[in-house]
Chains A and B, each alone.
Chain A
Amino acid sequence: MATTVSAPAPGRRRRTPLARREARWAYLFLAPWIVGFLVFQAGPMIASAWLSFTEYDVINPPEYTGLDNYRELMADPQVARSLGNTVYYTTLHVPLVMAISLGLALLLKRVGRLQGFFRTVFYLPVMTPAVAVGILFLLLLNTQDGLINRALGLVGIDGPSWTTDPDWVLPGIVLMSLWSLGSTVIIYLAALQNVPRDLYEAADLDGAGAWARFRHVTVPLISGSLFFTLIVNTIASLQMFTEVYTMYFGNRQTAGSFNSDAASFYVIHLFQEAFQFLHMGFASAMAWLLFVIILVITVVQVRLSNRFVYYEGEER
């Protein structure tokens, strides 16, 4: 022990005995993750890829069926419906969350000491368990007696049947999702507070108005956070499950009723195929399709971001 410690610092290129010893220890520290990666990530990925080419009901051994699952997947109207609903939800949810959060963060930045209080208010809904959020909004969105339609009634609007009219189920879900945007607000607020003030002063000297300052100073300097929340929120909304499952699925009364199709989300449908109908092969194919969709969307977003995101000096 003593000899190795007193040995001169290892050169970065040469593999000294110390460096080899360090490397052994390093892998020992990494071992839990490596094991977990192999057993719970890489292994299952390969397994689900293979299962997606089989018919498997857990009881009987998997039976190879080639591309059948994928062919079925493409032709299945329920898969198409749930994917359509999920994409519809994502395209509404993500831009709305980003716009409203940015608005709130801009306000928060300007109120000084009250900031902490309001930040807490906007974050508390995020702490609410998703099942409770689903239950709460099931009642808030109630057609006759719900708080939301009551409020709309106050301004003379006859509120729609959010939870029973197939055309209004998804907008109702989007509305619910906006209640939990608090973490995006906090991310934007942190980004806004890192914008150096001298840039605003320089913009003032150049005679920039409020909009010009926002457009040419604020937006470029927080574009990294905007981009990050775009990707994270998109990936999360494509996997929406708990709130909607709570509201519209899981018991005999709601399953099969008119609104359960209108509220079908991709991961909910996948879960039902896998664990209710035991179509493990088909569900695995669905999972891989989702993975590919998420990858493609993320790659497109990263490509776009290279054009719009401004990185200041170092890599962020």
Chain B
Amino acid sequence: MSTTVSPGAVTAAPEIGAAAPAARRLPAEDGRRPRWQRVLFVAALVGAAVIFMLPFVWLISASLRPREYVFAPGFLPTPFAPDNYAEAWRAVPLVTWLLNSVVVGSAAAGAVTISSAWVAFGFAYFRFPGRNLLFGLVLATMMLPFAVTMIPTYLIWSKLGLTDTQVPLWAGNLFGSAFYIFLLRQFLLSLPREYFEAARVDGASYPQLFWKLAFPLIRPALLVAFVFEFKASWTDLLKPLIYLRNEQLYTLPRGLKVVLDRFGYGGEQQWEVVLAGSVIATVPMIILFFLAQRHFVEGIATSGRKG
């Protein structure tokens, strides 16, 4: 995994079919361990799991209580006040923000997935002068802090008259992104080269090799890229803060920050509204996780991505 951070270590990059990644998978720990030890391990994990889950339980429960009971002890939503959600719904354009997040997230994730796969195919299939150097450069860009390019990038969108539109939130993704290029290239390298040679003999063009052959074959990896980027876009606050002024264009995190500032400490401490908004922003991500759990776990385990 160190390749992601020490691009200098990338020497001879193989092409499709040249490397068969040998995954050594082993069955779970055997049963030789004494029973009391296993019970102890499970007990420790249950304790940790309770600590990790309590904030969620509190969040949901408190979001369903009347204002004066938000901080009441206990984890039950009593008295029960589901009206908080209706109140949040009325107070701010939550539906608009939700839809904005879906649109921006889909555009960002779709753009980055397709463009990164296209570029990754270039690195995986072809031999050409400068390949290893360029791939090293791709990896090196992962080290570049967002802050260094943030201001000139803002100036570019500003010159194009696209600030206060949602375009800057996703259009940069049309050019591929280092992490996904790296990830998809890894998957492409595991495909047998004969598939592609056979298609070439049958007269397929290179774009056809990509669309008709590679693209469907790496579908699981494409889903990994899509769900990661969708999540990244869904949770991003910084770009909406920089680019969006018009509240109607806000994505959920940006909107949620407004809710906090207006109804939290800034306003009348209507925490029940803030909490209901937080739940609404969180639930789609939890659903996404359960729909795509396998892809998240696989993506992190194979690439070592943080978050």
Are A and B associated in one complex?
yes
Q: Point out the residues of chain B lying under 8 angstroms from A142, CB to CB.
A: 71
Closest Cβ of chain B to A298, distance in Å, is 7
For residue B220, CB closer than 8 A to chain A, the reply is no
Docked CA distance A136–B53 (Å): 13
Interface readout for A94-110 with B: 1 if CB under 8 Å, 0 if not?
Answer: 00000000001001111
Q: Quick one: which of B141, B148, B206, B241 contacts A37, CB cutoff 8 A? A: B141
Complex-state Cα separation, A270 to B131, whole angstroms: 36
CA distance A316 to B138 in the complex (A): 17
Known: A29-B118, A124-B286, A193-B26. A184 touches B137 (CB 8 A): no
In the complex, what's the smallest C-beta–C-beta distance from A29 to chain B, in angstroms?
Answer: 3
Asked whether A29 lies within 8 Å of B126 as measured between CB atoms, the reply is yes
Pick from B143, B296, B300 the residue with the most CB of A within 10 Å: B300
Q: Does A242 contact B (CB under 8 A)?
A: yes
Chain A residues with Cβ below 8 Å from B152 are 43-44, 47-48, 51
B45 and A186 contacting across the interface, CB-CB below 8 Å? no
Hey, which chain B residues are within 8 Å of A132, CB to CB? 253, 256, 278, 281-282
Tally chain B residues at the interface, Cβ within 8 Å. 112
A125 touches B55 (CB 8 A): yes
Residue of A nearest to B210 (CB): A29
A23 at the interface (CB under 8 A from B): yes
Q: Which of A101-133 contact B (CB under 8 A)?
A: 104, 107-115, 118-132
**Complex A-B: 6 CB contacts under 8 Å:** A23-B128, A29-B125, A37-B141, A130-B237, A228-B304, A280-B151
Contacts of A118 in B (CB 8 A): 45, 48-49
Tell me if A253 is interfacial: C-beta within 8 Å of chain B: yes
Q: Is the interface of B mostly helix, strand, loop or mixed?
A: helix
What's the dominant secondary structure at chain A's contact region?
helix
Q: Which residues of A contact B (CB under 8 A)?
A: 1-2, 5-6, 12, 19, 22-23, 25-30, 32-37, 39-41, 43-45, 47-48, 51, 58, 104, 107-115, 118-132, 135-140, 142, 144-147, 150, 179-180, 183-184, 186-187, 189-190, 193-197, 224-225, 227-229, 231-233, 235-236, 238-239, 241-242, 245-246, 250-254, 267, 270-271, 274-275, 280, 283-284, 286-288, 290-291, 294-295, 298, 302, 305, 309, 315-316
How far apart are B137's CB and chain A's nearest CB, in angstroms? 7
Check B48–A104 contact: CB distance below 8 A: yes
A186 and B300 within 8 A (CB)? yes
In angstroms, Cα B304 to Cα A296, docked, is 22
Interface stretch of the complex, out of B4-12, B78-86, B87-95: B4-12
Closest to A176 in B: B55
Distance between Cα atoms of A48 and B149 in the complex (Å): 7
Residues from chain A with Cβ under 8 Å of B247 in the complex: none
Q: What are the residues of chain B within 8 A of A58 when measuring CB–CB?
A: 155, 158
For the complex of A and B, 7 pairs with smallest distance between CB atoms: A36-B175, A29-B122, A26-B126, A145-B71, A44-B152, A190-B301, A251-B261
User: Which residues 213-252 of B have a CB within 8 angstroms of A?
Assistant: 231, 234-238, 241-242, 252
Asked whether B149 lies within 8 Å of A40 as measured between CB atoms, the reply is yes
* Complex contacts, B275 vs chain A, CB 8 Å: 135, 139
- How far is B56's CA from A137's CA once the two chains are assembled, in angstroms? 11
Write out the residue numbers on chain A whose beta carbons fall within 8 Å of the beta carbon of B278.
131-132, 135-136
Q: Are B143 and A136 in touch, CB under 8 angstroms?
A: no
Q: Which of B74-130 contact A (CB under 8 A)?
A: 115, 118-119, 121-123, 125-129
Known: A140-B55, A179-B52. A41 touches B141 (CB 8 A): yes
**Does the CB pair B297–A122 fall under 8 Å?**
no
- Set A112, A130, A183: member contacting B235, Cβ < 8 A: A130
Contact with A along B268-307 (1 / 0, CB 8 A): 0001001100100110011011000100110011101111
User: Is B172 in contact with chain A by the CB < 8 A criterion?
Assistant: yes
- A229-B304 in contact given A110-B29, A239-B146 (Cβ < 8 Å): yes
Would you give the 0/1 interface string for B58-76, flagging 1 where the beta carbon is closer than 8 Å to chain A? 1100100000001101000
Q: Are the C-beta atoms of A5 and B306 separated by less than 8 Å?
A: no
Q: Residue B176 at the A interface, CB < 8 A? A: yes
The residues of B that contact A39 with a CB separation of less than 8 Å are 156, 175
Contact of B145 among A126, A197, A291 (CB under 8 A): A291
